[in-house]
Structure 1
């Protein structure tokens, strides 16, 4: 039976951890994920309002699911 994308990625990450070591893997993964994060202080007011509105909508929908 073929593997799903999630299973394949999970196994790939485990292989990478074994090849380069867990500490190096965590450092690389942290650096990779920092690219996608922009602090609110660096955004202008319009961007901040959009982000807050999106977060508010997501939070409301999450609370409704409970």
Structure 2
């Protein structure tokens, strides 16, 4: 997959299509940012789930 993107990038730069290359680069950066945001939201969701689970265990022990 990395070779595929590297080949596209090199072809665009060699052909002198800098405008098209910048659009490609911005799109690639956006994909990385979206991936990071999804990973952070999944991590937060998982942490909240663990906290709720421990709260339920504490309430059961108090009962």
TM tier relative to shorter chain:
0.3 to 0.5
Q: Which has the higher helix share?
A: 2
TM-score, with length taken from structure 2 = 0.41
